[in-house]
Structure 1
Amino acid sequence: MEIIGKLLKKGIRLRESLEQDYSFPADLQKMELRKLLIQARGTEFGQAYHFNELLTSFKHKHSDHFYDEFKRNIPVHNYSSMYANWWHKLMQGKPDVCWPGKVKYFALSSGTSESASKHIPVTKDMIKSIQRTSIRQILTLSKYNVSDEVFSAGILMLGGSTQLQRNGSYFEGDLSGITAGQIPFWFQHFYKPGKRIAKTRDWNEKIEEITLKAKDWDIGIISGVPAWLQILMERIIDHYKVKTIHDIWPNLTIFVHGGVSMDPYRKSFEKLLAKPLIYMETYLASEGFFGFQYIPFSKSMRLVLNNGIFYEFIPFNETNFTAEGEMVDNPQTYKIDEVEEGKEYALLISTNSGSWRYLIGDTIKFVSKDDCEIMITGRTKHFLSLCGEHLSMDNMNKAVELVSDELNIRVKEFTVTGEKYGSLFAHRWYIGIEDETDPKLFKEKLDARLKEINDDYKVERTAALKEIFVELIPSQLFYKWMKAQGKEGGQNKFPRVLKKEKLESWKAFLVEENVELKGG
C-alpha cells in the first residue's frame, strides 16, 4: 500500500480516467462498441449477426447510423434467451461462441430475483477490465483527506470463496471469489483475509477464522456487502470484548460497498464505530464493473465508459415493461447521449464477456448527464405496483432510513410483499429489528414517509391500496432464511421485494420458525 499511497499523494491519474474526463461520453461509447464488435466479429454470435457488415456503419457520415444498425440487427436479450441460444454452449466448453476463446469462469448471480442462480460468463478480458476499474477507483482516494497510515494498512475484502466449484470444463462461484483469486501480485501483500481463509466455503467458519486473526491485522479499508460486514464486525467486537471495531483496527477509514443501498444499514453500522468512515459506493455486478463513486461524499456514481462495456438504456415504464417487470419485445432503447436526467431506465449492456444487448435487471437514473453520474434506483422486478403505486427500491430504502432516524432505532434488514385485501390490495412489510418500538407507530410513520416520497403511492393509499401491515421480527431470521436458500455471505443480498416462489418460501419459513405475525 505504501506504493499506492505515494501515487495518490502525487495525484497520479490513469490515462483511461483522463480520457473519460476530457471526452464526450457518446464518442467514448461509440469507440467502445466498435472495439467490441471488432474483437467478436469471428465468433458464432458475430457471424450470425453480421458484425463485419455492422462495422461498416461506423464510417457513415451520419454519426448515429451505427447505433440504428446495431439496434436493427441485434435483438435485446434477457438471461433466458441469452442462455438458451448461446451461453449453454459455453458451459459445454465450446470456444468462440459470443467472445473469442473458451470461458473458464462463470459467476453465480446473487439470486435475488424469483429464479435460481444464473451462470454469467466471466472472460479473461472481463477480469482485466474489472482490475483496471478497481485501480481507477483506488486512485480517486487522492480526492480525500486520508492519513498516510491508511496506505500502509491492509484491505479486507469480504466476499465469496476463492475455492471455486469445478464443473466439467469450467469453474463457478461468486464473482468476488473469481476476482479475488485473480488479484495482481503487487496487491497480495496487503490483501486480507489472505489466500487460505479466502478459500473457505463455509460462511461461519470463514467469519470465525477472520475474527481470530483480526487482532493481528492492521486494516485501513474494508470492502463487501453491508449486512455481512456488519455481522463480521459485531462478531469481532463481541469476541474481543471491546466497544468498537476501531479498538481492533484503529486505522480503519474507508468502507467500499456495493450491491445494496447503504442508507438502511447506516444507523446500526455506525454504532460499531468510534469515528466516521468514508463510504465509497461501487457498481460491481456479476456482469461487470460499471461504475464507482467518483466525487467525494456524493450519493452518485460515475459510469465507466471506456473499459469493455457498451451501455443502452430502456425507459422503465408501462410501454417497455409489464406490471410484473418483464421486458416487452422490441423495447425503446437509447444510447448515452439520448437519456434525460431524473428519468428511470433499465440497463442493457454489451461486454467483453460476451453479453450482447443484455438486460441485467437494474434500474438507474442520471443525476448528471454531462458527467455520467448515476444512482441505482432498484431492480426491474423488485418494485411494487399492484395498483399503480410504483414503489421502487429507492423509495423503500429512503423511507426506512427516515423512520429509523425518527424513532432512533436500528433496522438491519427489511422486505415488502403485495397481497390481496378484500377486493383491493395491501402491502406487508417485514422489518428486521432488535430495538424495542411500537409497531403501530412504525407503521404510521412508514406510511407517512412513503406518501411524502412517492406521489403515486399517496394517491393509491386513498384508492386501491387500502392497507399496509408491518411485522417487526428479529433480524436474525432474515439471515437464517438466506442460509436455508444457500445464499449466506459473499455477494448475496436479501430481496427487498418478495414475489412468487420466494414469497411462498419465506412464508413457509416463518411458519416453521413459529413466528407470530401481528400486523393483521
Structure 2
Amino acid sequence: MEIVGSLIKGAIDLKGALSNEPNHIESQKKVLIDLLRKAEKTEFGEKYDFNSLAKSEEVQKDFAKRVPYSDYHQIHNDFWKRVVEGEENVTWPGNPDYFALSSGTTGKKSKRIPVTEDMITAIRKAGIKQVEALANFDLPPAFFEKEILMLGSSTDLKQKDGHLEGEISGISASNIPFWFEGYYKPGKEIARIDDWDQRVKHIVKHAKEWDIGALSGIPSWMELLLQEIIRYYRLNNIHQIWPNLQVYTSGGVAFGPYEKSFNKLLAQPITVIDTYLASEGFIAYQERPETDAMKLITDNGIYFEFVPFKPEYINPDGSLKQNAPSITINEVETDQDYVLIISTVSGAWRYIIGDTIEFTDIDRAEIRITGRTKFFLNVVGSQLSVNKMNTALRELEEKFNTEIPEFTLSAKRIDGEFYHCWYLGIETEINDQELAEALDQSLKNSNKNYKVARSKSLKGVKVTTVPVSIFSEWSGTQKKKGGQVKMERVMSEEKFLEWESFVSEKISK
C-alpha cells in the first residue's frame, strides 16, 4: 500500500528537516578525543600515552607527532596478529567478534581487519544517515515500499578461533536490523551461498518474484548480474522484470567507467548514489543529487587526516614516507589529491587505507575518490593517477562511440625503452593503434607531467583491446570473484606478465 511508503517518506523528510549539518572541524576533534579516551588502557594506548594526549590543548597536532603512520602490514605484524590470535586490549578494548577479509587489489593473501561492535554500530548509523539523505533525491512514496537487492559477498561467515570472518559487505548484511529484513533481497538463504556463480544462478532464478526498487553493489559485478537476468528471461532491459527500479547505490570504485554500458541495460534513467564503504569502515556517502561527490562522515567513529599526494612523500612501492606531513579537515584545499589516513573504533591508528581523495566542497566535507596510492603510475615521472586515467578513457569513449568499463596497465621496458602498455575492455572493433594515439594525446593535453615524460624517457603507449569478460575471469583466477572485489588498474611488471600470459591463453582458445 502506497500509504506505508508515504509514511516512511514523510518520516525521512521530517528527520532530514530537523537534522543539523555537523560542524566538521569540531566533530573531528571530538571523535579523536573519544577514540583516545576509549583506547587509553590498551597496549597501543599506553605505548603512545593516549591519556595525556586526550588532555592536550593541541590534541590533533600532538597526535600526529606522537603516533606513526602504519599500513596494514605494519600494524598487523606489530599488533593485529595477536588480536587475530585472540589477545585482548591490544589496539582497542576487548577482542572483536569479526574480522573483515580483504585482499583488495594488490595481493592474493587475505588481510584480516578487525571489525568491533563499535564499528558495527558506526556502520549501521552511517547506513541510517544514507537512508535519511534519500529525502534530498525527490523519490516518490511508492519507492519506499519496494525491495532492495544488495549484491555483496557471502553472509556465510567462517568461524575461526572464536571469531567470524568474511568480507565487510557480508558482515554488514549479516547484521542488518530486523525491520529491514522484509525489504532485503536476495534474502538470508541465498546471501549465504559462498560460490559467486551459484549465488548469481539463484538470484536470477528468483528475480521475477521480487519487486526491486533499488540495487546496491560494485558496478562491475552488478552489471554482470543484470546481464545474466536479461539473458535468462530474454528481456530487452532490466526494467521489463523490475519496472519500479529507480535507484542504484554504487560503491567501491568510480561509477563513471561503467555508466555507458550500465545504462544500456535500462529502459529509463535511474538515480545513482555513490557510497564509500571500505573494510575499515563506512567513510562517506552521496548526500545530494546536485553532485556525485560524497560527504565524509565526520561524527561517527572515524578520525581523518590527509597527506598531500606528492611524489616526494611517496615511496617507489606506493607506501607513504613517515616524514610526510599530514593535515586536518580544517586545512584541506580543493584541487589537491590527498592520501587518506584514518583512526577508527576498530583500533586502526593513523592507518593508510590506500585510497587517494580530493575535496570538491570543503564546507560540506564532500570528496571524490581519485585513485589508489599503489595505482599511481610514476615511472619516468609520468605521474598518472587513476582519476586522470579514467578521464582520458571517457574521452576515448566519446571519440570512438564505445564503452570502456574495464582497463589495466603497466609500465614495461621494451628493447631498453619504457612504454605504458594498456589493456582495454571493449566489445566493438577499433584499431589498437588509433586508440593508442588518441589515448596518448588525451593524456598529454590533460597532464603536463605526462607530456614532459613523453618528451624524455617515456617512449610511447601501446594498447591491446580484449573482451570485457576477460577482466572478471581474471578476478576469478585470483580468488577475487564478486563481493568487494576491484580490478587492479595498475600492475607491477611481474603481475603484468601473469596477466598477459592469462590473456594470451584465453584469446587463443
Q: TM-score range by the shorter chain?
A: over 0.9
Instruction: Count the aligned residue pairs.
Output: 507
Question: SS where residue 411 of structure 1 aligns?
Answer: coil
Q: Matches of 1:231 and 1:77 in 2, distance apart? A: 36
Q: Matches of 1:5 and 1:205 in 2, distance apart? A: 37
The 10-residue stretch of structure 1 (66-75 or 343-352) with the greater mean CA deviation from structure 2: 66-75
The 10-residue stretch of structure 1 (437-446 or 487-496) with the greater mean CA deviation from structure 2: 437-446
Code of the aligned partner of 2:118 = D
Code of the aligned partner of 2:395 = L
Q: Matches of 1:390 and 1:344 in 2, distance apart? A: 12
Alignment equivalent of 1:383, drawn from 376, 379, 392:
376
Alignment equivalent of 1:198, drawn from 186, 191, 201:
191
2:41 paired residue number: 42
The 10-residue stretch of structure 1 (6-15 or 174-183) with the greater mean CA deviation from structure 2: 6-15
Q: Matches of 2:184 and 2:231 in 1, distance apart? A: 24
1:12 paired residue number: 14
The question of whether the paired residues in 1 share the 8 Å contact of 2:273 and 2:292 is answered with no
Question: SS where residue 29 of structure 2 aligns?
Answer: helix
Code of the aligned partner of 1:205 = Q
Q: Matches of 2:236 and 2:290 in 1, distance apart? A: 27
Shift of 1:2: 7.3
Question: SS where residue 280 of structure 1 aligns?
Answer: strand
Q: Matches of 1:511 and 1:437 in 2, distance apart? A: 19
Cα 1:34/1:351, change in 2 over 3 Å: same
Alignment equivalent of 1:132, drawn from 125, 133, 148:
125
**C-alpha offsets along residues 239-279 of structure 1, whole Å, 9 cap, x if unaligned?**
11110000000010101001111111111111100001111
1:467 paired residue number: 460
2:285 paired residue number: 292
The 10-residue stretch of structure 1 (480-489 or 504-513) with the greater mean CA deviation from structure 2: 504-513
RMSD of aligned Cα (Å): 1.8
The question of whether the paired residues in 1 share the 8 Å contact of 2:151 and 2:216 is answered with yes
Cα 1:203/1:5, change in 2 over 3 Å: farther
The question of whether the paired residues in 2 share the 8 Å contact of 1:211 and 1:239 is answered with yes
The 10-residue stretch of structure 1 (199-208 or 421-430) with the greater mean CA deviation from structure 2: 421-430
Shift of 1:508: 2.9
**C-alpha offsets along residues 452-495 of structure 1, whole Å, 9 cap, x if unaligned?**
22221122222221110000111111111111110001110111
Q: Matches of 2:173 and 2:28 in 1, distance apart? A: 28
Shift of 1:184: 0.2
Shift of 1:507: 2.6
The 10-residue stretch of structure 1 (427-436 or 113-122) with the greater mean CA deviation from structure 2: 113-122
Q: Matches of 2:370 and 2:59 in 1, distance apart? A: 30
The question of whether the paired residues in 1 share the 8 Å contact of 2:35 and 2:345 is answered with yes
Q: Matches of 2:76 and 2:424 in 1, distance apart? A: 36
Alignment equivalent of 2:158, drawn from 143, 160, 165:
165
Shift of 1:449: 1.9
Code of the aligned partner of 2:52 = E
Shift of 1:139: 1.2
Question: SS where residue 172 of structure 1 aligns?
Answer: strand
1:277 paired residue number: 270
Shift of 1:371: 1.4
2:52 paired residue number: 53
Matches within 5 A, 1:355-366: 355-366=348-359
Code of the aligned partner of 1:140 = A
The 10-residue stretch of structure 1 (481-490 or 429-438) with the greater mean CA deviation from structure 2: 429-438
1:313 paired residue number: 306
**C-alpha offsets along residues 408-443 of structure 1, whole Å, 9 cap, x if unaligned?**
212231111111144431101101122222222222
The question of whether the paired residues in 2 share the 8 Å contact of 1:410 and 1:433 is answered with yes
Code of the aligned partner of 1:39 = K
Shift of 1:376: 0.7
Matches within 5 A, 1:331-370: 331-370=324-363
2:297 paired residue number: 304
Question: SS where residue 311 of structure 2 aligns?
Answer: coil
Q: Matches of 1:193 and 1:469 in 2, distance apart? A: 42
Matches within 5 A, 1:64-83: 65-83=58-76
Question: SS where residue 471 of structure 1 aligns?
Answer: strand
2:367 paired residue number: 374
Q: Matches of 2:95 and 2:134 in 1, distance apart? A: 36
Code of the aligned partner of 2:54 = L
Q: Matches of 2:5 and 2:43 in 1, distance apart? A: 42
Cα 1:459/1:515, change in 2 over 3 Å: farther
1:504 paired residue number: 497
The question of whether the paired residues in 2 share the 8 Å contact of 1:417 and 1:499 is answered with yes
Code of the aligned partner of 1:218 = D
* TM-score, structure 2 as length reference: 0.96
Q: Matches of 1:357 and 1:368 in 2, distance apart? A: 24
- For structure 1, the 5+ residue unaligned runs are none
2:175 paired residue number: 182
Alignment equivalent of 2:239, drawn from 246, 254, 273:
246
Code of the aligned partner of 2:341 = L
Code of the aligned partner of 1:196 = E
* TM-score, structure 1 as length reference: 0.94
Code of the aligned partner of 1:492 = V
Shift of 1:14: 6.3
Shift of 1:299: 2.4
Shift of 1:501: 4.4
Alignment equivalent of 1:89, drawn from 82, 87, 100:
82
Shift of 1:500: 4.7
The 10-residue stretch of structure 1 (496-505 or 286-295) with the greater mean CA deviation from structure 2: 496-505
The question of whether the paired residues in 2 share the 8 Å contact of 1:2 and 1:152 is answered with no
1:406 paired residue number: 399
Cα 1:320/1:152, change in 2 over 3 Å: same
**C-alpha offsets along residues 58-101 of structure 1, whole Å, 9 cap, x if unaligned?**
xx3xxxx1122212221111111100111011111112211112
The question of whether the paired residues in 1 share the 8 Å contact of 2:383 and 2:450 is answered with yes
Q: Matches of 1:498 and 1:505 in 2, distance apart? A: 10
The question of whether the paired residues in 2 share the 8 Å contact of 1:14 and 1:136 is answered with no
2:446 paired residue number: 453
The 10-residue stretch of structure 1 (492-501 or 275-284) with the greater mean CA deviation from structure 2: 492-501
**C-alpha offsets along residues 329-377 of structure 1, whole Å, 9 cap, x if unaligned?**
2321111111221111101100001100110010011112121111111
Return structure 1 stretches of 4+ with deviation > 6 angstroms. none
Code of the aligned partner of 2:287 = Y
Q: Matches of 1:382 and 1:193 in 2, distance apart? A: 34
Q: Matches of 2:137 and 2:64 in 1, distance apart? A: 41
Q: Matches of 1:389 and 1:515 in 2, distance apart? A: 33
**C-alpha offsets along residues 383-402 of structure 1, whole Å, 9 cap, x if unaligned?**
21111111110011111122
The question of whether the paired residues in 1 share the 8 Å contact of 2:149 and 2:212 is answered with yes
The 10-residue stretch of structure 1 (331-340 or 440-449) with the greater mean CA deviation from structure 2: 440-449
